[in-house]
A and B are shown apart, each in its own frame.
Chain A
Amino acid sequence: MSKEKLIDVKNLATYFHTEEGTVKAVDGVSFEIYPGETLGVVGESGCGKSVTSLSIMRLIESPPGKIERGEIIFNNKDLTKSTQKDMRKIRGNDISMIFQEPMTSLNPVYTVGDQIMEAILIHKDVNKKQARQEAIDMLTKVGIPLPEQRVDEYPHQLSGGMRQRVMIAMALSCDPQLLIADEPTTALDVTIQAQILELMNGLKDQFGMAIMMITHDLGVIAEVSDRVAVMYAGKIVEYTDVETLYANPKHPYTWGLMHSIPHIEKDVDRLQAIPGSVPNPLDFPQGCKYNTRCPFATDKCREIEPEIEEIEEGHQVACWHVDKLEEAKAKEKKKKEKK
């Protein structure tokens, strides 16, 4: 891709210094997002996907959290070196964020309109009346029926799906270049999730913004992303475009994850579970962090951590034994053909 990068994260590391020890929540991740695309970030709890997004927003509580190293280049500026004053101008204006829990991220004592107007009044040079009109326009755009009425309602009067729409309206009210969505549909029902995902896809085209979609749901990722970063224990272990990732996963974790979930479109007798549990961030294993659960792990994996590198064009993987996984895949294919 020759397009100019919208955001370029280089070797970002965010640690939390707690009483029990240092939690290396994000430990050297690099990725970039181009204008207008959706980058999916997928991983399980504690893999560092949320901390990555909060680091970009510079919303890491400090102490105990600290961006240890790395750069976040956004519009030719390194956000890790920005002052909080500069960041306040960027947040909500250039980069917006929506969260998993639409109830707790809306203030219960203000009306929906007040909260959308707040962002508009901070970042745009408009008066209250214009801001209110813009708020109503935004509510219309996110598909809320009767926006003139809803604008004066309180969050508790809305359903979960409606609240998430309000959150999106708030986030988009200042026409951001990047929208970070942290598990935006996890708390919602499937039929509502489908509504919200469709809405986000539509708005992305309409507003021409880029989206960083953080989720644990491989289905959601497949549906909305252009490119995907798979995170495990604070690192990106695989990074490529969405078709390649699903057709040809190269990291044992990605592969394992895809085999461990039941697929609605095909039946299997037994799921192939990944053994063990997600490692404790206070006590990550030495070497490759996946080695304790990986079927292909060797002594090398237990000693030296692999760096992420490009093994095919546009396909980055952090694994010593990409070949072993290929063998396993070939075997599996043969078995299937026999059947």
Chain B
Amino acid sequence: MTEERLLEIKNLKKYFPVKAGVFRRTVAHVKAVDDISFHINKGETLGLVGESGCGKSTAGRTILRLLEATEGEITFEGQNLLELDKRELREMRKEMQIIFQDPYASLNPRMTVADIVGEPIDIHGLAANKKERNERVTEILDTVGLGTEYMKRYPHEFSGGQRQRIGVARALAVDPSLIIADEPVSALDVSIQAQVINLMQDLQKDFSLTYLFIAHDLSVVKHISDRVAVMYLGKLVEVADKQKLFDDPKHPYTQSLLSAIPVADPTYKSDRIILEGDVPSPVNPPSGCRFHPRCPYAMEICSEVEPEYKDYGEGHYAACHLLEQE
């Protein structure tokens, strides 16, 4: 793989104001994404994992500028997305697409499949006339495994898996280079998940796509990703090559996350690290390392100083005081 960077995120922050009182004054901030930096190489799949509320979906949407970033830099093919004006941004959207978790909510219930998939073609004027547009729609639907007989139907007439295929088709219609997939299979039945995962892998090969694959299911992420990033409470705690991350997790959070996965093999006995307590609130995150109240190896320094997020060799990034001391 050529290590050409398609997307580079630097110090990205997204804070949501918490308003209270009669005058709706901002009293605090939810630090949903708090200073994260990573990159995605051309043609690879970066898996972004974390538990609910860790900010992984917010990160995905902020990168696409569906949410406005509070601070930071998002460089896509050499261009800082945060500097684009509205028109330039709309033009840029051809290059980056999103697939949503919920195939029920993400399709307009009053539009036919042909119109849903045809919309991006209309918006960007990718077809000269109606005939060409329909041909293109047919072609895309065929690519995702839906026949033309479905074109005049409405989303509610489809099963969850088929709807997700429509969502994929819509994203594909503009021929993007980056697709951010936000939990694309977690709303689907177990037997259907594999269909969508396989489809996404096939499409990646055929259209040389780059994926940012956001999920909470580590087995799925492990299967589809080349590299994996782990988020906890708005921060990246570890980023590494898939094999390295799963074989040799450096951060205690990653370690406990991996050990918590139930394994579909009754003979498999894992040394489970059961974490104490719950994920703290992102409004008032713990001082120092955000993981320290639950960390089995917490030291004094962890509650005081925030560990530096740095490269521990061969692109294995982590943020932990334990590693710094070694």
Contact = CB atoms under 8 A, between A and B. Distances in A.
Interface stretch (B5-13, B147-155, B268-276): B268-276
A262 B222 contact: yes
Interface in A182-221: 189-195, 197-198, 216-221
A268 B268 CA distance: 18
Given A192-B278, A277-B162, A263 B264 contact: yes
A217 B262 CA distance: 9
Nearest to B199: A273
B201 A219 contact: no
Contacts of A197: 262
B189 A278 contact: yes
Given A217-B262, A220-B262, A265-B263, A190 B257 contact: yes
- Which of B190, B197, B218, B274 has its CB near the most chain A CB atoms (within 10 A)? B190
Nearest to B192: A277
Contacts of B267: 243, 246-247
A146 interface: no
- Which of B161, B262, B278 has its CB near the most chain A CB atoms (within 10 A)? B262
B218 A191 contact: no
B220 interface: yes
Contact of B51 (A191, A260, A278, A293): A191
Chief secondary structure at chain B's binding surface: helix
B291 to A, nearest CB: 11
A179 B265 CA distance: 24
Interface residues of A, number: 48
A270 B275 contact: no
Nearest to B162: A277
B275 A257 contact: no
Interface string A242-265: 110011000000001110111111
A311 to B, nearest CB: 20
Contact of A218 (B160, B162, B190): B190
Interface in B249-266: 256-266
A222 B193 contact: no
Contacts of A225: 266
Contact of A274 (B191, B261, B264): B191
Contacts of A218: 190, 264
A272 interface: yes
B121 to A, nearest CB: 27
Nearest to B160: A277
A191 B254 CA distance: 11
Contacts of B108: none
B266 A191 contact: no
A148 interface: no
A161 to B, nearest CB: 5
Given A189-B51, A243-B267, A261 B193 contact: yes
B52 to A, nearest CB: 6
Nearest to A266: B265
A193 B272 CA distance: 12
Interface string A90-132: 0000000000000000000000000000000000000000000
Given A217-B262, A246-B265, A273 B198 contact: yes
B106 interface: no
Contacts of B272: 194, 198
B26 interface: no
B159 interface: yes
A271 B256 contact: no
A231 interface: no
A260 B193 contact: yes
Contact of A223 (B216, B262, B275): B262
The 5 A-B pairs with the shortest beta carbon distances in the complex, nearest first, are: A219-B262, A262-B223, A273-B194, A189-B51, A260-B194
25 contacts: A159-B279, A160-B278, A162-B278, A190-B51, A193-B262, A194-B259, A217-B262, A218-B190, A222-B268, A246-B266, A257-B191, A260-B191, A261-B264, A262-B224, A263-B263, A264-B218, A265-B263, A265-B268, A267-B223, A271-B223, A273-B191, A273-B192, A273-B194, A275-B195, A278-B159
Given A222-B263, A262-B197, A293-B191, 13 more contacts: A44-B191, A189-B51, A194-B260, A194-B262, A219-B264, A222-B262, A261-B193, A262-B222, A263-B263, A263-B264, A264-B222, A273-B194, A275-B195
Interface of B: 51-52, 159-162, 189-195, 197-198, 201, 216, 218-220, 222-224, 246, 256-268, 272, 274-275, 278-279
Interface of A: 44-45, 159-162, 189-195, 197-198, 216-223, 225, 242-243, 246-247, 256-258, 260-265, 267-268, 270-275, 277-278, 293
